[in-house]
Amino acid sequence: MARKTKDDQPKKRGTDPNVMGLRGEVIDQPITDTLELNFMPYAMSVIVSRAIPEIDGFKPSHRKLLYCMYRMGLLNGARTKSANIVGQTMHYNPHGDAAIYETMVRLTRDNEALNVPFVDSKGNFGKVYSRDMAYAASRYTEAKLAPICAELFRDIDKDTVDFQPNYDNTTAEPTLLPTTFPNVLVSANLGIAVGMASQICGFNLAEVCQTTIELLKNPDHEILSTMPAPDFPTGGEIVYDPGQMAEIYRTGRGSFPVRAKWRYVEKEHIIEIYEIPYTTTAEAIIDKCRELIKDGKVKEIADMRDETDLGGLKLAIDVKRGTDPERLMAKLFKLTPLQDNYPCNFNILIAGSPQVLGVGDILTEWIAWRTECIRRRVWFDMTKKKEKLHLLEGLKAILLDIDRAIAIIRETESEAEVVPNLMIGFGIDQVQADFVAEIKLRNINREYILKRTEETAALAEEIRDLEDTLGSKRRLRSIIVDELRAVMKKYPSPRRTTLVYARELQEYDDGAAVEDYPVHLFLSRHGYFKKITPQSLRMSGEQKYKEDDALGWYWESTNTAELLLFTDRQQAYKLRAADFSDGKASTLGDYLPGKLGFDEGESLLAAVLCGDYSGTILLFFQNGKCARLPLAAYATKTNRRRLTGAYSDKSPLVAVLPLEEETELAVTSAEGRCVVFSTALLAPKTSRTTQGVQVMNVKKHPVVQVRPLAETAIRNQSRYRVRTIPAAGAKLTDADRGEEQLMFI
């Protein structure tokens, strides 16, 4: 609360946004009033009118600039000085010439910030991948609209979009541009508003158009099949994880790694980097490399320099003899911006409301908006044709008696009575009579009128066709498909950014060599992990756990072992025993949910010793299905600890069992039924998200336990054994139930 003088009276709520009185005194004003009257309008203005892009893919500053250039005739005309464009744009955008010019720079072909540049530029406009390469002043550069801008303004004069007054009410500007392709995904966009932000990565034009076409045909189309990943104008490589990308596509949030492209010139012992991540600059990479060289962390580099020229980006690294270029680049990818994560936050304005949408939802919104644009265009064309048909029908009415029309006009004394007399004489309305009265004297002949009236039949047919189009959702969508195909054909756009899977990359471990020795690994049900040497275990073998905890998994292994931990969020975490210090049986151990960064509320379900990832694991679900997967499906060559999409989310996971050789398993349901079967009946799968095959037929009673048959108390094994799956199983008898059978894995 602000300070208040004794003579001041409290201000009424909402009466005055100022906090200073006429005499300079401080006035009592609640903070809620300040937020409501000052901060909230400012925040909404920034969100809606400045920082967040709309469904056409543009912010207001982009839209105003491009529309001004369109009005200047720069779509088909010659280039003009950028300063001239900036000056004209100030009729629409009052934020100053510097801000307008910076906006234009990013839209140019020479800056290389967009997959599809909208400004055909000439001169020095800098480079998006360079921090120090500044663009020239607007008086030195020239620009015009790129040919693809014809797709931005197509039929803009046919009422396809709404217009609004500019800031000083002297002209009008469009609220959106009627783009014929989903530019909202093609053009990268970054915006920081108040309390929210937006970061949309660019996608390939052809892939976006093809995906939109497929969605128009089939709303359940798998988007990743036609649009596997973003595409950046700076190229580079995306370290591709389909599960991770699918999650970004679904939620509109997340991040993925992007790395540079390089080649090794063996004769000169030079590594050339020719494409870098979109999120960094050449100068930032060089600065970091020099810092590492100075600190002695990278000793393989003799020199590094920027050899960028008109041919494009090139960073040259002179390496010392005997250096393994693959290993050196693996180190640089880990320690420098040569590999970086691109964060995604697909926040766009839908009808003035900011929403974070997945790729499918964005395309659905765009299709709905574009359909309305086409409907408005068809309505506009139909209205114009109806007006023309109406005039021709009036002309047709005088065809039978042209002499009479001439006589009416000649015999009318007052000019103002010509139209009424024609209306009375031929039974036509005022609009038709005006049209007839304005016909030139040379055109009042039978031949001219016959030629004009012959158009009526064709016009009527065209109107019927347009009315049919308006009433047909299928025909409207067919128009969108045709326009998208035309864009793909007219503006070919090969993909710049390639995809590489993590398993194909060499992993760099900057730590010292891991010492290998025998250890015993203990993992409790609640996630406490202990690594104990045999000598320590012999001295004290009694394990300590919390009161409500107990031993869940135990392995005899080595210090180089890796564990795979499965949780209830369809995620798997990798644990390296070497990352943990040797412990004692008398301690609780390391709490893995905190150590590995589990999500809030995430719980441990199962753990598997990975070995060399050559084995097989079985994943059992509550719905009675089982997936047989190779452990290699979880192997990565990076140091990632978390794997998303580790298993199917169709049913909760019950158990994960390693399979060294074919054996018999006992599957038990909550009803007390049991099925004993051989694992040889399970066909192997490759996809981590598969549910596998049905093992046990369950209805209301889910599977609750899976154990090797040899570890159960079942005596009459033939009662439950089946030769084919799925099977309903048999009820466990008291003799076969046993105490152990009630324990979960």
Residues with catalytic roles: 140
At residue 368, what is the residue type? Answer: A
Residue with tokens 């047709």: 396
Residue with tokens 């709490």: 591
d(CA 100, CA 82): 10
Q: Nearest 5 degrees, angle CA 650-CA 652-CA 656?
A: 110
d(CA 332, CA 324): 12
Specify the pairing of strand 528-532 against strand 197-200: unpaired
Which residues of 504-588 form beta strands (DSSP E)?
A: 518-524, 528-532, 551-558, 562-567, 571-576
Structure tokens at 135: 């663009």
424-to-281, 378, 413, 436 alpha-carbon distances in Å: 78, 35, 16, 13
d(CA 315, CA 309): 10
Residues β-bridged to residue 619: 627, 656
Which string of b and e fits 117-127 if b means at least 16 CB within 10 Å? bbbbbebbbbb
Number of alpha carbons in the 13 Å side-chain half-sphere of residue 258: 23
User: In sequence order, which ranges of 427-499 are alpha helices (DSSP H)?
Assistant: 430-437, 446-453, 455-470, 473-490
CB proximity list for 238: less than 8 A, separation 6 or greater:
229, 230, 256, 257, 258, 497, 498, 499, 500
In this structure, are residues 332 and 338 in contact, taking their beta carbons and an 8 Å threshold?
yes
At residue 329, what is the residue type? Answer: M
In this structure, are residues 273 and 260 in contact, taking their beta carbons and an 8 Å threshold?
yes
248: left (phi over 0), alpha (psi -120 to 50) or beta: alpha
d(CA 138, CA 225): 43
In this structure, are residues 316 and 272 in contact, taking their beta carbons and an 8 Å threshold?
yes
In this structure, are residues 208 and 496 in contact, taking their beta carbons and an 8 Å threshold?
no
Specify the pairing of strand 339-345 against strand 253-259: antiparallel
Q: Using the 8-state DSSP alphabet, how is residue 740 labeled?
A: G
CB proximity list for 367: less than 8 A, separation 6 or greater:
212, 215, 216, 477, 480
For helices 455-470 and 446-453, the axis angle rounded to 10 degrees is 20
Picking from 381, 372, 545, the residue whose alpha carbon sits closest to that of residue 473 is: 372
In this structure, are residues 85 and 143 in contact, taking their beta carbons and an 8 Å threshold?
yes
In this structure, are residues 302 and 319 in contact, taking their beta carbons and an 8 Å threshold?
yes
Specify the pairing of strand 237-240 against strand 498-501: parallel
DSSP 203-232: --HHHHHHHHHHHHH-TT--HHHH--S---
